[in-house]
Amino acid sequence: MDGPAGIGQRIVAAIRQRIETGLDGPGTAMPSTRALAAEWGVSRTTVTAAYDQLIAEGYLEVRQGARARVAPGLGRGKAGPPAPPPATARLSGFGQRLAALPPLPAAGMDGLLADFRYGELAARDFPRMAWRQAVTAALLRPPGVLRYGDPAGSLRLRAALQGYLWRARGLRCTAEQIIIVNGSQQGIDLVARLLLDPGETVLMEDPGYALARHVFAALGAAVRPVTVDGEGMRTADLPPARLAYTTPSHQYPLGAVLSATRRRELLAWAARAGAHVIEDDYDSEYRYDIAPVPPLQAMDAPGDEAGRVLYLGTASKTLSPTLRLGWLVVPPGLADAFARAKRLADRHAPWLEQEALAALIEDGAYERHIRRARRLNADRRAALLAALSRHLGDSVMVEGAEAGLHVLAWLLDVPAGREAALVAAGRAAGIGLHPVTPLYAEGVPGRVGLVMGYAGLEVAAIERGVGVLAGVVRAVV
Amino acid sequence: MDGPAGIGQRIVAAIRQRIETGLDGPGTAMPSTRALAAEWGVSRTTVTAAYDQLIAEGYLEVRQGARARVAPGLGRGKAGPPAPPPATARLSGFGQRLAALPPLPAAGMDGLLADFRYGELAARDFPRMAWRQAVTAALLRPPGVLRYGDPAGSLRLRAALQGYLWRARGLRCTAEQIIIVNGSQQGIDLVARLLLDPGETVLMEDPGYALARHVFAALGAAVRPVTVDGEGMRTADLPPARLAYTTPSHQYPLGAVLSATRRRELLAWAARAGAHVIEDDYDSEYRYDIAPVPPLQAMDAPGDEAGRVLYLGTASKTLSPTLRLGWLVVPPGLADAFARAKRLADRHAPWLEQEALAALIEDGAYERHIRRARRLNADRRAALLAALSRHLGDSVMVEGAEAGLHVLAWLLDVPAGREAALVAAGRAAGIGLHPVTPLYAEGVPGRVGLVMGYAGLEVAAIERGVGVLAGVVRAVV
């Protein structure tokens, strides 16, 4: 700060402060450049530059040939009455509803022997080499001009996904029906904003994905819980609504596959009610004993303007939740509305991740990786199921193990009232336990169930963790 | 598709189709596994697997020891009355307002001699080596577990930004006040959702950034235009409102610096009205003749609960618009609400870009890059101003050239009615021209002004483009 530029800035700051504090009031003439230059021991050029900056900032004014003066309206106490005492900011209805929602569980933490938190993936599963190559290749071949991209996502990625969704899920759509979103969370948010007005009804699986329910509740919609049983969401006698949220391939968290009868009932209801259905296909890549169940979207009218299903896929369970990459497949008549909403929300998804995922899909690396991840997670699942059976025997009942990356373990011997004690004792013993209770909107079950994710854990940690769990269960019963 | 798995899937598909089309109604018994195995020439294991899958999908049911049957409620016409004729989907109020907004200009295109579209950057300015190193380093040191991150953004990046904002902008805040967003667009959207209810008033610079106005209008707010002159937004006698949007460092698009008097007036108004002010500091890194003007946020009560300014910065003008990285600095009392809203919107910003930017800021590469980009853009700007003067002389009046990456060029000889002809003739001659008119909400100027961005163009293209522009002007006058 001691070259000419530094001194110039000190002059600017000094004059600014005199004005700010009211020492030099509005209209006060500044010293001539010659006088000020002498005073500071700098050239007149430096002083002129300082005055120019203060003029640009509006502190000073100058008329042709005259000396610079403090601008009218400046100086202490000139800008209206003093500010009122600090008040907390008033939030919008959305903000207030959001603040009133129950807090979500804290983020995962390191240092536990085994944290059975759902949604985490082992970093060593990540296809690091393939991803790095794809990222490097993208960075080496940038477009000539960096500009905002297509709000719906890069056409290259959408074309690659179109093929992938057909191969992997039997899902038929055009690239124009695909909107690249920042993970399924943004997909749910965009659907809610575009199709749901405050006060309108949305049907939500109960128990179900809490952050979807929060989106609807924060928007001011009436969230109506729909009971889930062994065949998934109960679709008989659904009330009129604008929207329904469902996880038909593997109900989250209970794990049922929505039966074909209910799929038809749900689609017929949507057609009658003029409603839409969000199909959150969050983990369908993982299926262990049977082939993947086709998506609800494939039973709908794919490509038809009257399509009712908004299909949602994600890379959060196949690659990483930190990528923030997902895809919405919408009926053709809604594609433009979604592209507009995405542009308004954040212009478009980041370019680099889109390019890298497109490259991985194009050269088959994505599907090879999924096959590998499926094998790794099949091992983890087998270890979890075996350990639960070995350590807890008849006192545990497991649901939803056929697919996905979590199971629901009902601890039949633990009284419902001891749930908090169980979690605390588990934490003290080094394991993270996550009860299903917070995922219920109503009708909390009278027993203790744990959502046990295993994709972030090694087999050894799973086995040790379940051993610790068995001890903790005995201690709190 | 011709291994055992392939044939199994063909069996599944065949049975599914018989049920779907009503050939096999509810309750129809399936052939024994032995019979079907003989019919298809496969093992009984393959048939059993196919039946299992159809059971999981809900097409078939089976009771202990009995043959598989089509599930009750399945078959043609069983799922309620036929769907009504296709109807266009009914959008929410948000969706309808969004659809009614004027379309935005189409995305930029290649192949023009010179496109003066604002917001584009030359790819060769991008610090490709430094970015690639930072990205590779991040990919080589992933966390042990891949999990959702902090909704407000990585603490590493927020700490780096805190230092950067202080050094570069004299902006004081804690890391907790910073929320990493997907570019300033998402920042504006989050502010609007959290602080503005439908029907409430928001003040918007006029002319101003169209996508901000669209956010407010789509939300259902009453957008009140505030005239802009040579000192920026006119802040005397502002009406009551909940929110104001302003670009004080370099008004977009006219280029004025908001004067110190007006800054004070605006803050005093916000305190009186209990309103907040979005300070969109979108291009303050670029300033050519004078030092950067301190942000409005620094005149507010930084760190105070009663702070009124929501400061918004972006990497879209320094690195690339394709990264989708920006930052909001909010008063401490609002930080939690913003983190919650960000989590609801899309969980958090992508990890890789956050890590890479943090690394660039930490080792000084970001600020070195900005200095380089400033020099490159100073050259482009000088070329543009010289060419405009040389080719158009007194028939052009340039505003807002002191800062940023665009100027406003008023074409004094072109009648307002010839604007569309000018753009069309420009396009035909190979140059992209972008009138300021669409940025006005009311009071469209009676003359033709062009927003001329230059950061995506090389000096030679700028000079040729202006030469072509001069010819086009002569042709349409």
Q: Tell me the per-residue pLDDT of B322-349, one tens digit each, with 9 for 90 and over.
A: 999 999 999 999 999 999 999 999 999 9
Q: How many CA atoms lie within 13 A of B421 on its CB side?
A: 11
Looking at residue B444, what is its pLDDT? 84
Question: Which alpha helices (H) appear in B274-350, and where do they start and end?
Answer: 296-299, 335-346
Q: What is the pTM of this model?
A: 0.84
Q: What is the mean pLDDT of residues B300-327?
A: 91
What's the CA gap between A274 and A62, in Å, rounded? 66
Among B304, B344, B456, the residue with its CB nearest the CB of A189 is B344
pLDDT band at B81 (very low <50, low <70, confident <90, very high): very low
- B98 Cβ under 8 Å from any chain A Cβ: yes
In CATH terms, the superfamily for domain A103-119+368-476 is Aspartate Aminotransferase, domain 1 (3.90.1150.10)
Question: Measured between beta carbons, which residues in chain A are less than 8 angstroms from residue B282?
Answer: none
pLDDT at A39 over 80: no
pLDDT at A78 over 50: no
pLDDT band at B108 (very low <50, low <70, confident <90, very high): low
The residue behind tokens 């598709």 is B1
Summarised one tens digit per residue, pLDDT across range B47-77 is 888 888 888 778 888 877 678 888 876 644 4
Question: Measured between beta carbons, which residues in chain A are less than 8 angstroms from residue B128?
Answer: 139, 142
- B290 Cβ under 8 Å from any chain A Cβ: yes
Inter-chain CB proximity B92 and A49 less than 8 Å? no
A-facing residues of B in 176-235 (CB < 8 A) are 181-183, 185-186, 189, 193-197, 211, 214-215, 218, 231
Looking at residue B93, what is its pLDDT? 96
Inter-chain CB proximity B344 and A135 less than 8 Å? no
pLDDT band at B42 (very low <50, low <70, confident <90, very high): confident
Higher pLDDT, B54 or B366: B366
Among A86, A145, A197, the residue with its CB nearest the CB of B120 is A145
Looking at residue A2, what is its pLDDT? 41
Q: Which one of B124, B296, B346 makes the best mutation probe of the A interface by having the most chain A beta carbons within 10 Å?
A: B346
Instruction: Average the pLDDT over each of A49-53, A210-214, A460-464, B266-270 and give the range with the smallest value.
Output: A49-53
Q: What is the mean pLDDT of residues A244-252?
A: 97
Question: Measured between beta carbons, which residues in chain A are less than 8 angstroms from residue B320?
Answer: 146, 351
pLDDT at B84 over 50: no
pLDDT at A187 over 90: yes
The answer to whether the CB of A414 falls within 8 A of the CB of A448 is yes
**DSSP-assigned states of every residue in A263-322:** HHHHHHHHHHHT-EEEEE-TTTT-BSSSPPPPPHHHHS-TT-TT--EEEEEESTTTT-TT
What's the CA gap between B350 and A353, in Å, rounded? 9
Burial (CB < 10 A; 0-12, 13-18, 19+), residue A220, is middle
Question: Measured between beta carbons, which residues in chain A are less than 8 angstroms from residue B458?
Answer: none
Inter-chain CB proximity A92 and B196 less than 8 Å? yes
pLDDT at A339 over 80: yes
Looking at residue A190, what is its pLDDT? 98
Q: Which one of B126, B135, B324, B374 makes the best mutation probe of the A interface by having the most chain A beta carbons within 10 Å?
A: B324
pLDDT band at A77 (very low <50, low <70, confident <90, very high): very low
pLDDT band at B111 (very low <50, low <70, confident <90, very high): confident
Looking at residue B72, what is its pLDDT? 79
The answer to whether the CB of A249 falls within 8 A of the CB of A401 is no
The answer to whether the CB of A113 falls within 8 A of the CB of A433 is no
Please determine, for the modelled complex, whether the ipTM score is greater than 0.90: no
Higher pLDDT, A442 or B42: A442
Question: Measured between beta carbons, which residues in chain A are less than 8 angstroms from residue B267?
Answer: 79
**What SS3 state is found at A379?**
helix
Name the phi and psi angles at A131, rounded to 5: -70, -45
Looking at residue B314, what is its pLDDT? 98
Question: Measured between beta carbons, which residues in chain B are less than 8 angstroms from residue A71?
Answer: 259-261
Residues comprising chain B, all counted: 477
Looking at residue A107, what is its pLDDT? 67
- B122 Cβ under 8 Å from any chain A Cβ: yes
Burial (CB < 10 A; 0-12, 13-18, 19+), residue A276, is buried
Please state, rounded to an integer, the average pLDDT across all residues of chain A: 90
Inter-chain CB proximity B73 and A261 less than 8 Å? yes
Closest by CA position to B222, among listed B188, B198, B205, B246: B198
Chain A nearest C-alpha distance from B415 (Å): 31
Q: Could you give the percent of chain A with pLDDT greater than 70?
A: 91
CB pairs under 8 A between A and B: 376
The answer to whether the CB of A94 falls within 8 A of the CB of B195 is no
- B141 Cβ under 8 Å from any chain A Cβ: no
Question: CA angle A442-B343-A95, nearest 5°?
Answer: 75
Name the phi and psi angles at A453, rounded to 5: -85, 145
Among A72, A269, A290, the residue with its CB nearest the CB of B53 is A290
Please state, rounded to an integer, the average pLDDT across all residues of chain B: 90
Question: Measured between beta carbons, which residues in chain A are less than 8 angstroms from residue B184?
Answer: none
CATH fold for the domain made of A126-363: Aspartate Aminotransferase; domain 2 (3.40.640)
Q: Could you give the percent of chain A with pLDDT greater than 90?
A: 73
What's the CA gap between B13 and A370, in Å, rounded? 24
Looking at residue B4, what is its pLDDT? 52
Q: What residues form DSSP beta bridges with B311?
A: B279, B329
E strand or H helix at B115, and its extent? strand B114-115
Name the phi and psi angles at B218, rounded to 5: -65, -30
Higher pLDDT, B148 or A49: B148
What's the CA gap between B218 and A190, in Å, rounded? 13
A-facing residues of B in 240-279 (CB < 8 A) are 242, 257-265, 267-269, 271-272, 274, 276
Burial (CB < 10 A; 0-12, 13-18, 19+), residue B460, is exposed
Given 3-state DSSP classes, what are the helix, strand and coil percentages for chain B, each rounded to the nearest 5?
Answer: 45, 15, 40
Which residue type sits at A126?
F
Helices B4-20 and B44-56, packing angle to 10 deg = 50
pLDDT band at A104 (very low <50, low <70, confident <90, very high): confident
Q: DSSP class of residue A437? A: G
Looking at residue A141, what is its pLDDT? 85
Instruction: Average the pLDDT over each of A267-276, A430-439, B304-313 and give the range with the smallest value.
Output: B304-313
What's the CA gap between B152 and B172, in Å, rounded? 18
Summarised one tens digit per residue, pLDDT across range B419-466 is 999 999 999 999 999 999 999 998 789 999 999 999 999 999 999 999
- A110 Cβ under 8 Å from any chain B Cβ: yes
pLDDT band at A136 (very low <50, low <70, confident <90, very high): very high
Among B57, B150, B186, the residue with its CB nearest the CB of A257 is B57
Among B94, B304, B350, the residue with its CB nearest the CB of A353 is B350
Report the DSSP pairing between strands A222-229 and A201-206. Answer: parallel
What's the CA gap between B104 and A21, in Å, rounded? 45
Among A72, A84, A289, the residue with its CB nearest the CB of B271 is A84
Closest by CA position to B247, among listed B304, B181, B295, B199: B295
Summarised one tens digit per residue, pLDDT across range B174-195 is 999 999 999 999 999 999 999 9
Inter-chain CB proximity A261 and B84 less than 8 Å? no
Q: What is the mean pLDDT of residues B142-154?
A: 91
CATH 1.25.40.80 correct for A4-70: no
- Nearest residue in chain A measured CA to CA from B85: A306
Inter-chain CB proximity A73 and B119 less than 8 Å? no
What's the CA gap between B381 and B398, in Å, rounded? 12
What's the CA gap between A298 and A329, in Å, rounded? 11
Q: What is the mean pLDDT of residues B36-42?
A: 71
What's the CA gap between A161 and A311, in Å, rounded? 13
Question: Measured between beta carbons, which residues in chain B are less than 8 angstroms from residue A132?
Answer: 136, 139
Chain B nearest C-alpha distance from A477 (Å): 32
Domain segments of chain A as ranges: 4-70, 103-119+368-476, 126-363
pLDDT at A204 over 90: yes
Q: What is the mean pLDDT of residues A20-36?
A: 75
Looking at residue A301, what is its pLDDT? 73
Inter-chain CB proximity A337 and B98 less than 8 Å? yes
Inter-chain CB proximity B80 and A263 less than 8 Å? no
